[in-house]
Amino acid sequence: MHAPGVEVVLFIKITGEAEFNEVFLTEFVFPDDQRLGDEGDGWRVAITTLMNERFCPWWWKWRKGWWPYS
């Protein structure tokens, strides 16, 4: 988060707390040894990770026979 080309802008609430932020990558060069997946495949990696986080708990409950909407 402190690399050249990374800018973090805090969202300060009316209470003065800053719990969220916005990250801008301006002319940021990502090192090849830290890349997940192939070049140009970042969106697939990101959405796969996020969907796994959203879906897995319900999927495991469904697989074990517990589903609140049946």
Place of tokens 């707390």: 17
pLDDT at 61: 66
C-alpha pair distances (Å), 15 with each of 21, 22, 23: 15, 18, 22
Domain chopping of the chain, boundaries:
1-30, 33-63
- Yes or no: say if 43 and 56 are a contact pair by the CB < 8 Å rule: no
pLDDT at 65: 66
pLDDT at 37: 79
pLDDT in tens, 25-65: 998 888 888 887 788 888 888 888 787 767 666 666 666 66
**pTM beyond cutoff 0.85:** no
